[in-house]
Amino acid sequence: MGKEIKQLVVDYLKEMEKSGEEFLYFDRHDDVQSIDIGDKLKQLEHECKKCRKCVLHRTRKNIVFGKGNDRAIIMLIGEAPGFKEDEAGEPFVGNAGQLLTKMLRAIDLTREEVYIANILKCRPPKNRDPKPEEVDACKVYLEKQIELIAPQIILALGRHSLRLLTGYEGSLANIRGNVLYYEGIKVIPTYHPAALIYHQEWKKGSWEDLKFLRRLYTQIHPVK
């Protein structure tokens, strides 16, 4: 489509949207090209499957690219796949994942409504922390995912995710309750679900973060 015609279509749809009409393919992605988001994500996943940019490709069974609604308003970003995720090729399917599903359900969200991804797409052996060179090599995939999905809120699960997205290096307990930003997108820091399994005392704070997430989401996407 020529650029001028495309702009006319975008302007027309914007006017219609203001008048209350809803369009399947028109929202914050602000461009008719948003129709291709799913295809572009698939292409990125395909590239990721071939990735050999760090040593983790040698020990992975599967890459764990990410899963969910590719037009999600909320994106959840964890650390790295564990044993079960590496087996399944899907994020958060082990114990921490089950807890995460319950946490979402508690604020009336489903995994299908959000998009879930990790910083690293391959499992670090023995679930050790990601190494800086692995994060550096892998972050391009996450950056591109965020750009394509264009969420309005990111729930940063744990300190690694928060550090990569915002540069914040301090303790999670000191920053949670605040909104930070990644490329203009709101970032809500919260505890990683795996940490909550061992630290029951963090559950109260986690619940507050979830309720805050729900409030922000409802403001953007009022319940009809």
- Positions that interact with ligand URA (CB under 6 A): 64, 78-82, 85, 91-92, 96-97, 118, 194
3-state secondary structure of 182: strand
Judged by beta carbon, residue 73 or residue 80, the one nearer ligand URA is 80
Judged by beta carbon, residue 89 or residue 205, the one nearer ligand URA is 89
Which residues neighbour 165 within 8 Å (Cβ) at sequence distance 6 or greater?
A: 77, 154, 156, 180, 182, 187
Residue 114: DSSP 8-state = S
Q: How far is the CB of 66 from ligand URA (least distance, A)?
A: 9
Residue 129: DSSP 8-state = P
Q: How far is the CB of 149 from ligand URA (least distance, A)?
A: 17
Residue nearest to ligand URA (CB): 78
Q: How far is the CB of 55 from ligand URA (least distance, A)?
A: 19
Judged by beta carbon, residue 82 or residue 151, the one nearer ligand URA is 82
Q: How far is the CB of 158 from ligand URA (least distance, A)?
A: 7
Q: How far is the CB of 93 from ligand URA (least distance, A)?
A: 7
Judged by beta carbon, residue 91 or residue 151, the one nearer ligand URA is 91
How far is Cα of residue 145 from the mean position of the Cα atoms in its chain?
Answer: 8
Strands 180-182, 153-157: pairing kind: unpaired
Query: H-type helices in 50-158, by residue range?
Result: 56-59, 83-88, 95-106, 132-149
Judged by beta carbon, residue 79 or residue 134, the one nearer ligand URA is 79
Strands 67-68, 115-118: pairing kind: antiparallel
